[in-house]
Amino acid sequence: MPVNEVSMHKIREILRLYFDSHLSQDQIAMSLRLSKGVVNKYLKKAKLAQLNSWLLVEGLDEQTLRDLLRKASPKELPVSRYAEPDCALTHQELKKKGVTLQLLWEEYRSVHGDESYSYPQFCRYYRSWLATQKPSMRQVHQAGEKLFLDYCGPTVEIIDGDTGEVRKAQIFVATLGASNYTFAEATWDQTLPNWIASHVRAFAFFGGVPALLVPDNLKSAINKACRYEPEVNTAYGDLAGYYGTAVLPARPYKPKDKAKVENAVLVVERWILARLRHRTFFGLRELNVAIRQLLIELNERPFKKMPGSRKSVFESIDKPALKPLPERPYEYAEFKKARVHIDYHVEVDGHFYSVPSSLLKKEIDVRLTASIIECLYKGKRVASHIRSYRGGFTTCTEHMPKAHQKHLEWSVGRFLNWALDIGPATKDLVQHLLEKKPHPEQGYRACLGLLSLAKQYGKARLGPRSL
């Protein structure tokens, strides 16, 4: 498969999730909806290109990364000297009474000798094959691995104290797979900004970031729900990249994929919302204070069938395994497409921002936060500006063509001084050229043409008479 058959964005994500997030190849394949073979191929190419860490990859633009991967010849990939186990036969033999993996491995080893896998490798090989088969397997959640996310079905009414208007608040729920430690909060709706903000507050509540986010296929998270290739919302993917995690949506119509969060939603409804049903709330903050108090009780409540509580298991298992939080919380961002105008600016909400003039007529991605606008071309940031909410232009000198940069060196005063040096008549004419335009800069070209005549014909001929 040539490099360009898989988008460079996905190839970069493969390398980030493997080197920076330390996910397995199976997890990366599931998260990006690629085959394990494709993931393995590009990891091998990266290693052949001596790209053995995320630090080496992060600073490369897409074209450089593509060139390095193309140079990595598949002929250099090492060929395994080990004999592959017959997994189908192994699976059938295990159905027989008294047959174990240990016994089957010993028989396999007796046939292949030094070319056989070790027992742990043999078991992993078989289980990897088994995971691709139809029979469902019991999920085992690793510490700090998955955070399951969803909204409760029931809502909570909030009364506006001034108008008496009744609004219904949505309840966001997040729970860690290994410990069942749960976070919940109320928001006005399930729109993308609130979905992203709830994630940011959930990470702060847990004090760290899991390796995987497992949302249901709600519209705020997934643009296109699909069993095989769900399309993650761009802003949601940006959040995941900022926190160094990955999004692994639950498969449609596969309740076992999200059993953890469905159970957590049920617990929140029974333990928190049911206890609040007789209370009247007059603001979202008041409701969240009440939820947070009951959430403490829920997480500290002892388990019935095993020792400890959600909190104690979280502190001993999940918390040490979570990734550290970044220095600053994520700032919500929107993404748009824009085409560079012939004046090397892009228009966003009625304001024009400059980009390098080499990108004329190119389509670029624009990332918008409340305070910053970033322009991206092929995954590389090419410009960054403070966001303006008024019409006008924001222009960086270094984005201009060289001729335009030289044009900035001129000013009205400089033109008038030069003209006066030639003669008062020339000074009067230059002043007239500058003043008759709505903006003096629009007269610069005519003034340059006039004053250049001094080089051709001399100052004496250019400036004896006044207007």
What digits encode the pLDDT tens for the residues 281-309? 998 899 999 999 999 999 998 877 566 78
For residue 411, the model assigns a pLDDT of 65
Residue 339 bridge partners (DSSP): 363
For residue 295, the model assigns a pLDDT of 92
For residue 3, the model assigns a pLDDT of 47
Q: Are residues 348 and 414 in the same domain?
A: no
C-alpha–C-alpha distance, residues 407 and 30, integer Å: 54
Higher pLDDT, 335 or 156: 156
Give me the domain span that covers residue 359: 334-402
CATH number reported for the structural domain that contains residue 200 in this entry: 3.30.420.10
pTM of the predicted protein model = 0.57
The total of structural domains in the chain comes to 5
Long-range contacts of 362-366 (CB under 8 A, 24+ apart): 363/337, 363/338, 363/339, 364/337, 364/338, 364/339, 364/340, 365/335, 365/336, 365/337, 365/338, 366/335, 366/336, 366/337, 366/338
The string over 137-159, giving b where at least 16 C-beta atoms fall within 10 Å of a residue's C-beta and e elsewhere, is eeeebebbbbbbbbbbeeebebe
Note whether 176 and 147 are within 8 A (CB).
Answer: yes
For residue 92, the model assigns a pLDDT of 52
Name the pLDDT band for 4 (thresholds 50, 70, 90): very low
What digits encode the pLDDT tens for the residues 235-258? 888 888 889 998 887 665 455 555
Higher pLDDT, 328 or 79: 328
Q: Are residues 169 and 310 in the same domain?
A: yes
For residue 88, the model assigns a pLDDT of 65
Q: Please report whether residue 314 resides in a domain.
A: yes
What digits encode the pLDDT tens for the residues 190-232? 888 899 999 999 999 999 999 988 887 666 555 444 443 445 6
Residue 378 has pLDDT above 70, yes or no: yes
Which residues contact residue 289 at a Cβ distance below 8 angstroms, ignoring those fewer than 6 apart? none
Q: Are residues 123 and 157 in the same domain?
A: no
Q: Are residues 270 and 311 in the same domain?
A: yes
- Mean pLDDT, to the nearest integer, of 334-345? 81
What digits encode the pLDDT tens for the residues 414-429? 777 777 788 888 888 8
Q: Are residues 169 and 307 in the same domain?
A: yes
3-state secondary structure of 226: coil
CA distances from 106 to 82, 93, 124 (A): 15, 13, 15
Q: Are residues 9 and 72 in the same domain?
A: yes
- How much is the mean pLDDT over the chain? 78
Final residue in a domain of this structure, among 76, 101, 119:
76
- Mean pLDDT, to the nearest integer, of 44-71? 81
Final residue in a domain of this structure, among 402, 428, 450:
402
What digits encode the pLDDT tens for the residues 353-366? 888 878 888 888 88
DSSP 8-class letter at 275: G
Residue 260 has pLDDT above 70, yes or no: no
Q: Are residues 215 and 304 in the same domain?
A: yes
C-alpha–C-alpha distance, residues 461 and 456, integer Å: 10
CB count in 10 Å sphere of residue 181: 25
